[in-house]
């Protein structure tokens, strides 16, 4: 590990408000890309295929593209706001400056839960993959728990040791996992002369009709869930106003390509009834291609994608938790930065056992649904956020690193797609949805009437902006 | 606007707050699980003595099932015939809409009050 | 006892090692530095130092 202080002389450690230590500004646009894509790419290796089960192969493609539109709106809106509000905590800090403290507290919790549950889902998949490989080599009944725990402990340790090494690791394994998808596509597609894909024979009509297409939106989000996490790196990126929009928008483009290719290859190789319930669909696709090379490659790709995702999740969840601790939204104890590694180490440690509880104790689709719901609540907040942002600070009042086009159309599209997705979740997991919102209502009341008394009022507004219009 | 000085929270209070949050979080996920309400209704209607034809599988599909390790129709029948139940009542849909809209309404309202306080302390009264 | 059994034990052991390293360093850090230093990080330093957002 290199000496971190070399690059840190200029900004951190000599903060104007008497800060003695801070997070370290060492990341470039490639790390932002790796953080965003790394978290999400695992969605191509597992989970997206439940949308096939929900509505059939075509429904999954429609859901994939509509979710793509949803996330393009998310990425554009996020890029604009975050290129201005560059601080750890991402959307939490945005909400604090633009909507208000209680919204910010809720957004912070959405972030932490979406990422921690996704981390748990990844660890479960690591265990499942190990079991699958063990079965293929003739070993029955592998104990998955040590592998689940090891994945979480190793990545927590990596995150604890410093952000540069963590995200460089993510960059490398994400690039490998992404290349694996491209290679699988090239080797199975007619481009290279092989004809293993059997779309004509395997595609069926919509088994549930158009209602199934709506239902598929639920897991359609899984193709992209987490791309908005790029903003968590804001306080550790060398030039946030440039690197964050660039990394985020490049990330969403990468994912649109990967998602479509994944769909194309998988539905050309598996009957939809199997695909809709498969645990590791891309690995299955590689097995069916009949090539040992592809099978090994996609096995490694699956492992790397889950690790990159869990890695990014630990990074993002701990930043959000840390930022809330720093503002006393949560006990201030969590707002600590490690003096040597410059990471929010107490938040990282605290979230480990929570991830373990869910990884070891809850079924995969529940954990995924918990994560998707938290994400969905967050995406509903975004259009509200950006409309208020443009109203309180019109374009000519503060400098923005990136201005998203066609305002307010992206906000309205995003809100409508969120509405559709709520309906999709309602079709299968209505009880969870209500339980989840009940949880957020209870927690909000707790915050408003008890916790908020420990928060300094003016001090939490840290951006050097003018007074918002209309206040 | 006078400046608001928050009380300093002691170690014990911090621990209590963390425990409260943890209990609420774990409750939100596990209560539906324990009550058996989680997961969507999933039905399988496996016919007696299923054949690939009666399951609606063409030769290519059969070949794929075989490659995936399902050698005979009976082993794959449950996967193939599994269907979700998407029926719902208008009442529960309305209920959900009210819960979601109500939730955001509460949050935005409380936030607005808190936000005005923040702004007037930060930028001074008008 | 085949390779997978060995890997199970190795995974348990490695998990414990990583956990111990983290906890040891955490306790050491907390006892070496005061909370004054550890909690002193501030949000929005970059903005305050580089740009005043005047258009």
Q: Per-residue pLDDT tens for A5-57?
A: 433 434 443 344 456 688 888 999 999 999 999 999 999 998 899 999 999 99
Residue pointed to by tokens 């370290």: A24
A and C adjacent (3 or more CB pairs under 8 angstroms): yes
Q: Per-residue pLDDT tens for A305-324?
A: 999 999 999 999 999 999 99
When mean pLDDT is compared across A280-284, B114-118, C41-45, the lowest value belongs to: C41-45
Burial class (CB in 10 A: 0-12, 13-18, 19+), B45: exposed
ipTM score for this prediction: 0.89
Contacts of A149 in chain C (CB under 8 A): 11-12, 15
Residue of A nearest to B36 (CA): A431
Q: How distant is the Cα of A277 from the closest Cα of chain C, in angstroms?
A: 27
Contact A87 C38 (CB under 8 A): no
- Secondary structure (3-state) at A345: helix
| C3, C29, C43, C55: best to mutate for the A interface, most A CBs within 10 A | C43
Q: Which residues contact A388 (CB under 8 A, 6 or more apart)?
A: A98, A99
Q: What's the confidence (pLDDT) of residue B75?
A: 87
Q: What's the confidence (pLDDT) of residue C40?
A: 85
Percentage of residues in chain A having pLDDT higher than 90: 65
Q: How distant is the Cα of A246 from the closest Cα of chain B, in angstroms?
A: 31
- Number of continuous H segments (helices) and E segments (strands) in chain C: 3, 0
Contact C45 A15 (CB under 8 A): yes
Q: What's the confidence (pLDDT) of residue C8?
A: 94
Q: Span A325-339, mean pLDDT?
A: 92
List the structure tokens of B17: 């707050």
List the structure tokens of A465: 């902006």
Q: What's the confidence (pLDDT) of residue B35?
A: 75
Distance CA A196, CA A188 (A): 6
Contacts of A134 in chain C (CB under 8 A): 4
State yes or no: pLDDT of A401 exceeds 50.
Answer: yes
**pLDDT class for B37, splitting at 50, 70, 90?**
low
CB-based contact, C12 to chain A, within 8 Å:
yes
Quick one: angle between helices A364-392 and A409-449, nearest 10?
100
- For B47-90, the DSSP string reads PSS--TTTTT--HHHHHHHHHTT--SHHHHHHHHHEEE-----H
Phi, psi (rounded to 5 degrees) for A282:
-70, -35
Contacts of B61 in chain A (CB under 8 A): 201-202, 271
Residue of C nearest to A154 (CA): C18
**pLDDT class for B39, splitting at 50, 70, 90?**
low
Residue (of A227, A258, A259, A260) closest to A244 by Cα position: A227
- Assess contact for B118 and A458: CB atoms under 8 A: yes
Q: Span A390-400, mean pLDDT?
A: 92
- B36 versus A366: which is more confidently predicted? A366
Q: Span A216-235, mean pLDDT?
A: 89
Residue (of A354, A447, A154) closest to C15 by Cα position: A154
Task: Give partners of A (≥3 CB pairs < 8 A).
Answer: B, C
CB-based contact, C34 to chain A, within 8 Å:
no
Q: How distant is the Cα of C42 from the closest Cα of chain A, in angstroms?
A: 6
Contact A274 B29 (CB under 8 A): no
Q: What's the confidence (pLDDT) of residue A211?
A: 93
Distances (CA, A) of B69 to A274, A336, B18: 11, 52, 48
Distance CA B52, CA B1 (A): 77
Contact A147 C4 (CB under 8 A): no
**pLDDT class for B126, splitting at 50, 70, 90?**
low
Q: What's the confidence (pLDDT) of residue A9?
A: 39
Contacts of C47 in chain A (CB under 8 A): 86, 462-464
| Per-residue burial over A179-189, b = 16 or more CB atoms within 10 Å of its CB, e = otherwise | ebbebbbebbb
Distance CA A303, CA A311 (A): 12
- For A421-443, the DSSP string reads HHHHHHHHHHHHHHHHHHHHHHH
Domain-wise residue ranges, chain A: 26-452
Distances (CA, A) of A195 to A259, A296, A375, A407: 21, 20, 39, 45
Contacts of A212 in chain B (CB under 8 A): 86
Partnered with residue B42 across adjacent β-strands are B84
List the structure tokens of A13: 């450690």
- A435 versus B126: which is more confidently predicted? A435
- Average pLDDT taken over every residue of chain C: 82
Q: What's the confidence (pLDDT) of residue A11?
A: 40
**pLDDT class for A421, splitting at 50, 70, 90?**
very high
Distance CA A53, CA A49 (A): 7
Q: What's the confidence (pLDDT) of residue A7?
A: 38
State yes or no: pLDDT of C41 exceeds 90.
Answer: no
Distance CA A418, CA A220 (A): 12
- For A158-190, the DSSP string reads HHHH-HHHHHHHHHHHHHHHHHHHHHHHHHHSG
Contact A153 C18 (CB under 8 A): yes
Q: Considering CB atoms only, which of C21, C43, C47 is closest to A157?
A: C21
CA angle A312, A97, B112 (to 5 degrees): 120
Q: What's the confidence (pLDDT) of residue A55?
A: 93
Task: Give partners of B (≥3 CB pairs < 8 A).
Answer: A
State yes or no: pLDDT of A179 exceeds 90.
Answer: yes
Contact C4 A134 (CB under 8 A): yes
CB-based contact, C8 to chain A, within 8 Å:
yes
Contact A25 C39 (CB under 8 A): no
State yes or no: pLDDT of A346 exceeds 60.
Answer: yes
List the structure tokens of A135: 């079965």
Q: What's the confidence (pLDDT) of residue A2?
A: 35
List the structure tokens of C34: 């005061």
Q: What's the confidence (pLDDT) of residue C46?
A: 53
B and A adjacent (3 or more CB pairs under 8 angstroms): yes
Distance CA B24, CA B43 (A): 32
Contact C43 A349 (CB under 8 A): no
Q: Per-residue pLDDT tens for B10-35?
A: 889 999 999 998 888 888 777 777 77
Burial class (CB in 10 A: 0-12, 13-18, 19+), A41: buried
State yes or no: pLDDT of C47 exceeds 90.
Answer: no
State yes or no: pLDDT of A1 exceeds 50.
Answer: no
- The verdict on whether omega for the bond into residue A408 sits within 30 degrees of 0, i.e. cis, is yes
Fold category of A26-452 in CATH: Amino acid/polyamine transporter I (1.20.1740)
Contact A358 B114 (CB under 8 A): no
Task: Give the count of Cβ contacts less than 8 A between chain A and C.
Answer: 132
- A5 versus A192: which is more confidently predicted? A192
Contact A430 B6 (CB under 8 A): no
Q: Span C38-44, mean pLDDT?
A: 83
| A16, A150, A466, A467: best to mutate for the C interface, most C CBs within 10 A | A150
Q: Per-residue pLDDT tens for A205-216?
A: 899 999 999 999
Q: Per-residue pLDDT tens for A122-170?
A: 999 999 999 988 988 888 889 999 999 999 999 999 999 999 999 999 9
């Amino acid at each position: 590990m290199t000496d971190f202080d070399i690059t840190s002389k200029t900004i951190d450690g000599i903060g104007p408000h008497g800060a003695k230590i801070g997070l370290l500004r060492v990341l470039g646009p490639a790390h932002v890309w790796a953080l965003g894509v790394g978290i999400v790419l695992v969605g191509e290796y597992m989970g997206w295929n439940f949308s096939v089960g929900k509505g059939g192969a075509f429904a999954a493609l429609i859901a994939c593209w509509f979710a793509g539109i949803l996330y393009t709106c998310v990425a554009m809106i996020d890029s604009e706001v975050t290129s201005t509000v560059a601080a750890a905590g991402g959307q939490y800090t945005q909400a604090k400056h633009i909507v208000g403290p209680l919204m910010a507290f809720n957004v912070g919790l959405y972030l932490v839960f979406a990422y921690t549950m996704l981390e748990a889902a990844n660890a479960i998949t690591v265990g499942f993959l190990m079991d699958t490989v063990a079965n293929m080599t003739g070993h029955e009944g592998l104990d998955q728990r040590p592998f689940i725990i090891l994945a979480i402990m190793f990545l927590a340790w990596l995150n604890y040791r410093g952000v540069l090494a963590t995200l460089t690791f993510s960059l490398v394994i994400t690039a490998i996992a992404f290349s694996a998808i491209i290679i699988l596509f090239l080797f199975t597609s007619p481009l290279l002369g092989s004809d293993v894909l059997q779309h004509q024979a395997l595609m069926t009509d919509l088994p549930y009709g158009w209602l199934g297409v709506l239902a598929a939106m639920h897991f359609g989000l899984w193709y992209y869930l987490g791309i908005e996490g790029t903003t968590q790196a804001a306080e550790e990126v060398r030039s946030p106003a440039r690197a964050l929009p660039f990394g985020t928008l490049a990330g969403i483009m990468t994912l649109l390509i990967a998602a479509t290719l994944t769909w194309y290859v998988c539905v050309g190789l598996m009957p939809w009834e199997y695909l809709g319930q498969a645990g590791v669909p891309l690995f299955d696709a590689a097995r069916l291609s009949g090539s040992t090379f592809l099978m090994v490659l996609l096995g490694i790709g699956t492992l790397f994608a889950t690790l990159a995702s869990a890695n990014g999740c630990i990074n993002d969840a701990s930043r959000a938790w840390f930022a809330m601790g720093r503002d006393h939204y949560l006990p201030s104890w969590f707002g600590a930065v490690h003096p040597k590694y410059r990471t929010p180490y107490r938040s990282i440690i605290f979230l480990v056992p929570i991830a373990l509880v869910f990884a070891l104790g809850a079924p995969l689709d529940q954990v995924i649904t918990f994560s998707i719901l938290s994400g969905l609540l967050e995406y509903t907040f975004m259009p509200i956020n950006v409309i208020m942002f443009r109203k309180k600070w019109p374009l000519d009042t503060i400098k923005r690193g990136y201005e998203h086009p066609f305002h307010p159309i992206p906000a309205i599209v995003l809100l409508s797609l969120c509405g559709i997705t709520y309906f999709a979740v309602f079709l299968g997991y209505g009880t969870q949805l209500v339980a989840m919102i009940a949880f957020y209502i209870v927690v909000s009341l707790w915050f408003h009437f008890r916790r908020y008394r420990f928060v300094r009022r003016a001090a939490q507004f840290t951006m050097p902006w003018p007074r918002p219009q209309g206040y | 606007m006078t400046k608001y000085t928050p009380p300093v929270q002691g170690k014990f209070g911090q621990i209590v707050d963390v425990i409260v949050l943890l209990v609420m979080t774990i409750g939100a996920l596990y209560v539906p699980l324990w009550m058996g309400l989680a997961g969507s209704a999933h039905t399988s209607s496996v016919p007696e003595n299923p054949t690939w034809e009666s399951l609606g599988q063409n030769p290519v599909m059969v070949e794929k099932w075989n490659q995936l390790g399902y050698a005979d129709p009976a082993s794959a029948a449950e996967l193939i015939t599994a269907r979700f139940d998407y029926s719902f009542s208008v009442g529960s849909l309305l209920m959900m809409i009210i819960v979601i809209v109500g939730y955001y309404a509460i949050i935005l309202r409380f936030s607005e009050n808190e936000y005005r306080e923040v702004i007037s302390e930060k930028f001074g009264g008008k | 006892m085949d390779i997978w059994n060995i890997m199970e034990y190795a995974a348990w052991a490695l998990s414990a090692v990583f956990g111990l390293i983290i906890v040891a360093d955490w306790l050491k850090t907390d006892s070496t530095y005061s909370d004054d230093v550890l909690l002193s990080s501030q949000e929005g330093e970059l903005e305050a130092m580089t740009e005043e957002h005047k258009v």
